Structure 1
């Protein structure tokens, strides 16, 4: 259990390339600011805020605001560990949406900075590492509950009722994130989770709040955004690399999601 967490506190590290890992990542900014390229969009986490996200989405730290030194706390919890916590369906659904959950640190109701500092020491001892994992779980639960309570859209979300249902949803999300660049469809995703396609689509929408097809498209658009910003690839090359079956499909879905063409998006953000 002691090896399942990674905890760090200090200045934001250099991150020259986007990376991904199958953990739930928690960032608490004490001083300065974190600027991320998350998928293909820019995301800022300011002092006094905490961000929680599934790190399977490619992300890269591109700066720390005006205070380049900063003071940030990080914790990585393996997704498999989080799945074993038995989170409420709506809370786990927030993690799987691929959109960071950002809450004020005060919502946790604890001195989170002091907690992180203690964790760095306690994780080195077998008799206290278990306590750290329990405290990390409580922190994540409080943050997700705050985000859920603050959201107007959660009130209509139906509960799934079983751990097996959420395992199936997670399997579909993981398969999608791993294979969206390939010519897969929602039927392929359902089959990968050994589910009937119609049931799979209903289950996924109830858990995550979006359709399985939209989730697949979101993965592809995010990858296209990332490639437009970080590479010199042509739009035709990017369409193929991001998993779109044609340039027309790429342009249609990208414009719908971003409100502009791929070329305009690149000109604005590079």
Structure 2
């Protein structure tokens, strides 16, 4: 039986820009904003929805924070430049469908231009962001242009999948997270997740929580909510169909979990940011 976990509201960062020392995250988390990140020394390894993805040094990378994600390894002394953009604002930028589709699939999309120039531009964003409302708006305009530039050089999705750092790749937790990411639409149980990594259910629950910072049930819930958000934003299925296709066994359970997690109803969420990807 799947372990019960408390349903908690997601973090909200809003439109923000920050720079500082990068550290591996002790806990996976999820939020509605788009992240735009750059590392100035060494690649960043993320676990995103059960897949290990790598952001190369000096390349701005974009991903949607709704999928459970965790920075699992980072080089010492690495400085991170980090921006979050609320999803409704990001969608108002009317960026190419190819970029939106990749983000909604849970991928990190990164640039392949001039690392020194990209780093200088993003450092300026962090310095100017809170100087005045006028400067904040300039940063927003430049971030929109940067995202459009990244979209123009979009690489095939297969090029962004990596085995990850040796300390994590192939570990039981990586196996369990990958299993959840492939099967969250199904009525899976803790025993199923544990069996995928050849562990007892109790050991699996303890190891997963100690490494990811979420229960297996909590991680599963975040994966299902992220898929529901994607379907609500990009499709025209009924809300009942979205609930079933996201792995929720009942419509009432879906409504309750969605409202607690996102702070709104599925119908309002759909109206707030509907986008058609062709």
Give 1:213's aligned residue: none
Residue of structure 1 in register with 2:15 after alignment: 5
The 8 Å contact of residues 32 and 71 in structure 1, kept in 2 or not, is answered as no
Distance 1:93 1:27 in 2: 19
Match for residue 185 of structure 2?
Answer: none
Residue 90 of structure 2 is aligned to residue 82 of structure 1: yes
Deviation at residue 55 of structure 1 after TM alignment: 0.8
Equivalent residue, structure 2, for 1:169: 234
1:90-239, aligned counterparts within 5 Å?
Answer: 90-106=98-114, 111-124=117-130, 125-147=132-154, 150-151=155-156, 168-169=233-234, 180-183=246-249, 207=278
Specify every segment of 5 or more residues in structure 1 that has no aligned partner in the other structure, as ranges.
154-165, 195-202, 208-270
How many residue pairs get aligned? The number is 172
Return the alpha-carbon distance in structure 1 between the equivalents of residues 54 and 38 of structure 2: 12
Does the Cα contact within 8 Å between 1:35 and 1:61 map onto a contact in 2? yes
Distance 1:141 1:129 in 2: 19
Per-residue CA deviation, residues 34-78 of structure 1 (Å, 9 max, x unaligned), is 1111111222222133321111000011111xx322122111111
Distance 1:49 1:122, change over 3 A: closer
Residue 54 of structure 1 pairs with residue 64 of structure 2:
yes
Tell me the secondary structure at the aligned position of residue 22 of structure 2. Answer: coil
Structure with the greater relative contact order (CA < 8 A, sep ≥ 6): 1 or 2?
A: 2
Please give the TM-score of this superposition, normalised by the length of structure 1: 0.54
Q: How far is the alpha carbon of 1:94 from its aligned partner?
A: 2.3
Q: 1:4 to 1:20 in 2, by over 3 A?
A: closer
Instruction: Show CA shifts across 1:121-152 (max 9, x none).
Output: 322111211101000111111101210xx449
Stretches (4+) displaced over 4 A: 150-153, 174-177
Pick from 63, 69, 72: which aligns with 2:77? 69
Q: Which residue of 2 aligns with 1:267?
A: none
Extract unaligned runs of 5+ from structure 2: 1-12, 159-230, 255-265, 269-274
Aligned-pair Cα RMSD in Å: 3.7
Give distance in 1, aligned partners of 2:27 and 2:123: 28
**Mapped contact 1:12–1:34 kept (Cα < 8 A):** no
